[in-house]
Amino acid sequence: MTSSKNLPHSQRLAERKGDHIELASKARTTSVEVDPRFDYEPLFFTHPSATSRWPTKFLGFDLEYPVWVSSMTGGTEHAKTINQNLARLCGEFKLGMGLGSCRSLLKDRSRLSEFAVKDLLGAQPLFANIGVAQLQELVAADALTQVHELVRITESDGLIIHINPLQEWFQPEGDRFTVAPLETLQRFLDSARYPVIVKEVGQGMGPRSLRALLDLPIAGIELGAFGGTNFTLLESLRGEEEVAREGFIHVGHTAREMVGYLNALPLRGKEFIISGGVSSMLDGHELLSRLKANALIGMASAFLAPALKDYDSLKQFFLAHREALLTAKSLLTVKEDA
């Protein structure tokens, strides 16, 4: 196969025809390979252009695409570069972003520069992040103003609370929940004066937990579903091999399963970030279409490598996914029963 971009038109055409003959035998599919989730509707389609958008409201903010950069790292050497690149992307393409856990700032404000990215986002939403284990401690110490301070000093528009019992259990130096997260959340929410989102970190949640969250005065839920980055597995790789815990790595709920649970529950005006293993925009489009509520697609680990490299790599990564998302939206209709 040849790269023929700089050749004259007639030669390019001839080369392309040559490629087709050479590759035809390798380019065969069988009927079982078809993606059964979508109706393919080419008659209504135009290719997205550089100015195509998918305007979306989320918690009162205006986004140009239904895409959220899910909470990632903080408190490490590379965090500043990663967060700055991610924030710049959100500012340029009008997305929203969750910071990684801001726990380190509770004790040490010298790390604030790693999280101080609001000026790069402009009017786009930025949410601080804390684990329910820290909230449990702060509730017990009657020190919740420290959490409100985290939101203030990072200039965040709200707070994401992660609920991660399995990660903590597998983490060699992990915290233990002595109070159920639901109770900790209830105590915390009495004093929160900003929007709160609750999430898992890669295991998802079952219907009882979702129902309990929907009854709380929170703004939204991020799924943090099973099927992508798995922090229980990650922590198990860091610690001792522990046979008695082995099977727990595989428990949880996929994003698709959680969307099904949510659609059967009273959603009470909550908004959602569909995350956890959403690395393809086909999945993103499918899940956004299925959920009967206002929602964004959230991705974490997929953004990590390009964000760590440099801004241009991150931008190219996003532009490719943006095109795929807009193409999926315009070309594919999700089948009700698939």
Stretch that binds ligand FMN, among 46-54, 133-141, 258-266, 269-277 (CB under 6 A): 269-277
| Whether the Cβ atoms of residue 129 and residue 99 lie closer than 8 Å to each other | yes
Angstrom distance (rounded) from CA 220 to CA 232: 24
**Which residue has the CB atom at the shortest distance from ligand FMN?**
228
**Residue among 94, 118, 199, 321 that touches ligand FMN (CB under 6 A):** 199
Q: Does the footprint of ligand FMN cover residue 301 (CB under 6 A)? A: yes
Q: Which of residues 238-257 bind ligand FMN (CB under 6 A)?
A: none
Residue 6, φ and ψ in degrees, nearest 5: -95, 5
Closest CB to ligand FMN among 121 and 201? 201
**Residue among 94, 118, 162, 270 that touches ligand FMN (CB under 6 A):** 162
Closest CB to ligand FMN among 138 and 299? 299
Q: Which residue, 227, 209, 330, 321, is CA-closest to 265?
A: 209
Q: Which residues pair with 221 in a beta bridge?
A: 198, 272
| 3-state secondary structure string across 257-318 | HHHHHHHCCCCCCCEEEEECCCCCHHHHHHHHHHCCCCEEEEECHHHHHHHHHCHHHHHHHH
Output the DSSP codes for 93-140. HT-EEE----THHHH-GGGHHHH--HHHHTTS-EEEEEEHHHHHHHHH
Q: Which of residues 276-295 bind ligand FMN (CB under 6 A)?
A: 276-277
CB of 176 to ligand FMN, least distance (A): 18
Q: Which of residues 56-95 bind ligand FMN (CB under 6 A)?
A: 70-73
Site size toward ligand FMN, by CB under 6 A: 22
**Residue among 66, 165, 202, 252 that touches ligand FMN (CB under 6 A):** 202
List residues near ligand FMN by CB under 6 A. 70-73, 100-101, 129, 162, 199, 201-202, 224, 228-229, 275-277, 299-302, 304
